[in-house]
């Protein structure tokens, strides 16, 4: 019986070890799959578009030209010159209500860049859609612009795009995110904080975040990006048919509570319809945000501010120093009483006269008769000696009337 019991016990131990190995293997596989899934969410396909650095220069976009020349280069040069003239007239009219013209040489000194949006080059023809950038210092003198315009507090922007029933922010690259990344913010009164969407930002800033109302997680996001509040531009794209016109329904929200600012619709057809729809929608959306700021609707939310704790240190109070004004104009002097009378001075046992009141002067005491005072020569010059070397003189004996005794009088 003992032999079979040992065999059964051994088989049980083998089964338990094999089960433990299976459990460990399953846990390792689960952990590996979970790590792979998290890595795939962070890496995944290409996502995120870095926003461009906007300068303070004036940019006029969407200038269409259609010119001809002797050859392709001549047609392109004439097209750029025409774009400069049209852009300056459009910029001046936006500031003063009417257009103005300048010479080509003056415009060449003010133009810093030509942005090619669309371009078609033929042997003698040039058709393009261009953007012109003017230097702010030189163009501002002619436009009469001085100083710096008032801007809003830093606003974090989360562009949400709904296409095919799915919402996207930074989960994948979208034309709506590209439009905001390439948007020129120098002419806007809104101080935009534009995330790039790289790495962990795609997990932190997603379409589900805009539905959260709790301030705790929003405070973490605002503190990380250095923003005061959040702007949420949302676009829903509707396809009429494959290759047909696109309809974009744009809605602007503000704050974690998704306060509605406004909405509008746009319809675009032709080539690059999606990109043109998003670029036009971003420009219109920025105008809505600026109008809301001017009307006082964009205000900072105090519940999103992370307040640091201030440690109060105890302050030691110094005792006040009293001066003459605190004592009624006079500081009383403390009388100094000597510890013992001088050694060589004559001893006078007469009772001290009572102090006289301040209103009447103290009466002068009459001098004692010379015959009663002991005869003594000038006091010898004393030298500094120790206290133990001092000899104390005996006081002379007197009768009841205060006169010196006869023995002491004759001895003197």
Strand duo 111-121 + 155-157: pairing: unpaired
Q: Are 228 and 154 in contact (CB under 8 A)?
A: yes
Encoded tokens for 221 = 């996001």
- Specify whether the CB–CB gap between 249 and 256 falls below 8 A: no
pLDDT surpassing 60 at residue 190: yes
pLDDT of residue 250: 95
Answer with the one of 117, 132, 147 that is the final residue of a domain: 147
Of 258, 283, 299, the domain-final residue = 299
DSSP for 20-73?
Answer: HHHHHHHHHHHHHHHHHHHHHHHSSS----PPP---SSEEEEEEEEEEE-SSHH
Contact call for residues 278 and 175 (beta carbons, < 8 A): yes
Average pLDDT over residues 224-247: 89
- Residue 148 dihedral angles phi and psi, to the nearest 5°: -120, 135
In a domain, 45, yes or no: no
Query: Residue 123: what pLDDT?
Result: 92
- Identify whether the C-beta of residue 256 lies closer than 8 Å to the C-beta of residue 305: no
141 found inside a domain = yes
Same domain, 117 and 169: no
Q: What is the CATH number of the domain that holds 112?
A: 3.30.1660
Task: State the first-to-last Cα distance of the chain, in angstroms, to the nearest integer.
Answer: 141
Q: What is the dihedral of CA 164, 166, 172, 173, to 10 degrees?
A: 50
Interatomic CA distance for residues 308 and 223, integer angstroms: 12
Q: Are residues 89 and 159 in the same domain?
A: no
Examine the domain organization and report whether 120 and 164 are in the same domain: no
Contact of 132 with 115, CB cutoff 8 Å = yes
pLDDT digits (tens, 9 = 90+) for 382-406: 444 444 444 555 555 566 666 655 5
Q: Is residue 226 part of a domain?
A: yes
Higher-confidence residue of 28 and 137: namely 137
Per-residue pLDDT at 285: 93
Q: Tell me what pLDDT residue 215 has.
A: 81
Domain count, the chain: 2
Q: Are 154 and 194 in contact (CB under 8 A)?
A: no
Residue 142 burial class via C-beta count within 10 angstroms: exposed 0-12, middle 13-18, buried 19 and up? middle
Going by C-alpha positions, the residue among 140, 142, 120, 139 that lies closest to residue 129 is 120
CATH number at residue 254: 3.40.50
Residues 173 and 137 in one domain: no
Contact (CB, 8 A) for 129 and 62: yes
Distance of CA 224 to the CA centre of its chain: 11
239 located within any domain: yes
Domain, as residue range, for 245: 151-299
**What is the per-residue pLDDT for 237?**
92
- pLDDT(107) > 60: yes
Give me Rg for the CA atoms of the chain.
51
User: Does residue 306 have a pLDDT over 80?
Assistant: no
Segment 1-47, tens digit of pLDDT: 555 555 555 665 665 666 666 676 666 656 555 544 444 444 555 66
Assess whether 121 and 195 both reside in one domain: no
Last residue of a domain, one of 86, 114, 147: 147
Contact 170, 127 (CB under 8 A): no
CA-to-CA separations, 283 to 73, 124, 188, 287, in angstroms, rounded? 33, 34, 10, 7
Say whether both 173 and 122 belong to one domain: no
Lowest mean pLDDT among 23-32, 76-85, 101-110, 131-140: 23-32
pLDDT for 328 equals 52
List Cβ neighbours of 144 (8 Å cut-off, separation of 6 or more): 95
Residue closest to 405 by CA, chosen among 363, 374, 369: 374
Pure H helices in 97-226: 104-110, 136-143, 175-181, 201-204, 215-225
Q: What pLDDT does 126 receive?
A: 95
Tell me the per-residue pLDDT of 312-329, one tens digit each, with 9 for 90 and over: 666 566 655 555 555 555
Q: What is the dihedral of CA 96, 100, 102, 108, to 10 degrees?
A: 60
88 and 172 part of one domain = no
- Mean pLDDT for the chain? 74
**pTM across the whole model:** 0.56
Pick the most confident of 95-99, 243-247, 353-357. 243-247
- Of all residues in the chain, the percent with pLDDT exceeding 90 is 21
Q: How large is the greatest C-alpha to C-alpha distance in the chain, in angstroms?
A: 157
* 78 within a domain of the structure (yes/no): yes
**371 — alpha (psi -120 to 50), left (phi > 0) or beta?**
alpha
CA pair distance 351, 345, nearest whole angstrom: 17
Does the structure show a pLDDT above 90 at 53? Answer: no
**78 & 155 share domain:** no
Report how far residue 309's alpha carbon sits from residue 303's, in angstroms, rounded to the nearest whole number.
15
CB 133 within 8 A of CB 115: yes
Strands 125-134 and 192-193: unpaired
Residue pair 235/241 in contact by the 8 Å Cβ criterion:
no
């Amino acid at each position: 019986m003992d032999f079979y019991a040992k065999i059964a016990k051994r088989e049980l131990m083998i089964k338990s070890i094999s089960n433990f190995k299976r459990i460990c293997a399953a846990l390792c596989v689960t952990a590996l799959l979970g790590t792979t899934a998290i890595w795939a969410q962070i890496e995944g396909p290409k996502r995120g578009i870095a926003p461009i650095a906007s300068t303070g220069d004036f940019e006029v976009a969407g200038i269409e030209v259609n010119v001809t020349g002797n050859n392709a280069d001549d047609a392109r040069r004439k097209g750029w010159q025409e774009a400069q003239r049209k852009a300056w007239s459009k910029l001046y009219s936006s500031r003063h209500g009417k257009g103005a013209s300048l010479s080509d040489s003056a415009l060449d000194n003010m133009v810093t860049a030509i942005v090619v949006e669309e371009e078609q080059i033929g042997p003698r023809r040039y058709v393009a859609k261009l953007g012109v950038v003017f230097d702010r210092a030189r163009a501002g003198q002619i436009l009469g612009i001085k100083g710096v315009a008032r801007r809003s507090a830093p606003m974090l922007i989360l562009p949400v795009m709904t296409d095919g029933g799915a919402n996207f922010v930074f989960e994948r690259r979208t034309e709506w995110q590209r439009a905001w990344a390439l948007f020129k913010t120098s002419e806007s009164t809104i101080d935009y904080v534009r995330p790039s969407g790289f790495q962990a930002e795609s997990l932190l800033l997603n379409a589900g975040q805009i539905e959260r109302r709790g301030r705790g997680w929003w405070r973490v996001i605002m503190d990380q990006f250095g923003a005061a509040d959040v702007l949420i531009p949302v676009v829903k794209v509707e396809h009429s048919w494959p290759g047909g016109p696109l309809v974009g329904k744009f809605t602007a929200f503000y704050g974690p509570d998704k306060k509605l600012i406004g909405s509008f619709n746009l319809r675009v057809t032709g080539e690059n319809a999606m990109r043109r729809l998003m670029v036009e929608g971003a420009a219109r959306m920025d105008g809505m945000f600026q109008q809301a700021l001017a009307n006082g609707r964009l205000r900072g939310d105090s519940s999103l501010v992370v307040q640091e704790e201030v440690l109060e240190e105890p302050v030691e109070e110094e005792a006040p120093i009293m001066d003459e004004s605190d004592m009624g104009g006079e500081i009383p002097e403390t009388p100094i009483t000597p510890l013992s009378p001088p050694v060589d001075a004559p001893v006078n046992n007469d009772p001290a006269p009572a102090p006289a009141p301040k209103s009447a002067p103290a009466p002068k005491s009459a001098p004692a008769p010379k015959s009663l005072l002991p005869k003594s020569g000038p006091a010898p010059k004393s030298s500094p000696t120790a206290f133990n070397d001092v000899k104390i003189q005996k006081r002379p004996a007197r009768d009841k009337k205060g006169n010196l005794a006869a023995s002491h009088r004759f001895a003197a």
